[in-house]
Amino acid sequence: MAEIAPVYVFATLDTKFDEANFLANAIKGEGVPAVIVDVGTAKPPLGKGDVDRSVVAGFHPQGAAYVLGHTDRGAAIIAMGQALREFMIDAHVNGRCSAVIGIGGTGGSSMIATGMRGLPIGFPKLLVSTVASGDTSSYIGTSDISMMPSIVDVAGLNRVSKKVFRNAAGAIAGMARLKDFADESRPALGVTMFGVTTPCVTAVREVLEGRGFDTLVFHATGVGGRAMEGLAASGLIEGVLDITTTEVADEVVGGVFACGPDRFDVMLARKMPYLMSLGALDMVNFGPLDTVPAQFRNRKLHVHNSSVTLMRTTVEENVQFAHWIAGKLNAYPDSPFTLLIPEGGVSELDKPGNPFHDPEADEALFKTLEEIVIQGPERKIIRCPAHINDQRFCDVIVEEFNRIKR
């Protein structure tokens, strides 16, 4: 068996030296080498790690003195997190570690998670934390960090913490021993979907999978779009069919599934095969009906289920969406794309006879995009006289994607 690179163990050694040492020894007991990395920023360490905090801090763009010179704990934690991110990326790229594990409370978890989020999807990362049983979205983001509740505080060794640390050691050692698995037999594509665009995406996916593509479908809930773009940035997706761009509506109007300010940037910057459409831009998403903001209570609302209330978008809002999307596309004037417009409606609720059918609002979106998006030979806007879930539109998606993929 080839020699395994060590597991990096991250901890603030000014408070958690004994715990980090116990964890590292437990990993070694599983037959995997371990290296303790000090990410403390406050008091001197209680014991010596294998990698000094000054080495990690030196990866910050402003240098180690900037990171370790902060008197404010919060600012120091943020700076060390940024340095740790660059340290981890460098260690991974150069093959110096096979996996990473960290231990911490709220501050340490935030710092270590910041560093872990810089590692690619699939690289083993485990965080033993006091906050792992709560809302971990701010720690994990769109990464694949595994979080394990510490149960007791990470403050000393006792009958509970030792069991937790030993389990964590076994878990990360097992991850480190796994051979890298890269399914490169089929090119991978990212596809965005919502319940109201499911018929379209399902039909497209079945055709593409039959033609040898590995299709990864992402639920367009804000996090879903960001997760897809994270994989695209990691090089794990080779093309994108952004059929459902509804997250833009929530971003602009203030819904619960907002895409964030960086939506579309990765695909455009990387100039990857990129097809987009306008799926579910007829709606903004809110939570239960009684959580809809007061200013929207008199709007056209549709209770999708007990947890989701949908609001029909107006002509004015659709013009705003067009400007938001065009701003992104025009910011990358050399990046190719195809934007397909389903003239018959952008969601299942937008069909004739259904509650969100509003051709005037749709046309405001379509026309504004055509007027302000910079087009060219490889930057096309194509209208299709069909509903987004019609077979005809699905056929056009597949045909156009085959063209741009070549």
* Nearest alpha-carbon partner for 91 in 6, 176, 12, 4: 6
Q: Which residue ranges form the domains of the chain, and what is each CATH number?
A: 7-177 (3.40.50.12020), 188-405 (3.40.50.12030)
* pLDDT at residue 301, as a whole number: 96
pTM of the model: 0.76
* pLDDT at residue 182, as a whole number: 55
* pLDDT at residue 150, as a whole number: 93
Say how many C-beta atoms besides its own lie within 10 A of residue 245's C-beta.
26
* pLDDT at residue 180, as a whole number: 61
* Alpha-carbon distances of 52 from 36, 44, 102, rounded to whole Å: 9, 11, 15
* pLDDT at residue 181, as a whole number: 59
Say how many C-beta atoms besides its own lie within 10 A of residue 255's C-beta.
24
- The low-confidence residues of the chain, meaning pLDDT below 50, are 1
| Residue-wise pLDDT tens digits, 57-66 | 999 999 999 9
* pLDDT at residue 183, as a whole number: 56
Residue with tokens 């979205």: 137
Sequence-ordered list of residues with C-beta below 8 angstroms from that of 321, at least 6 positions apart, any chain = 248, 249, 252, 281, 313, 365
Q: What angle do CA 373, 375, 378 make, to 5 degrees?
A: 135
Torsion of CA 247, 242, 232, 325, to 10 degrees: -60
* pLDDT at residue 130, as a whole number: 92
Percent of the chain that is helix, strand, coil (3-state, to 5): 40, 20, 40
* pLDDT at residue 1, as a whole number: 44
Contact indicator for 222, 250 with CB cutoff of 8 Å: yes
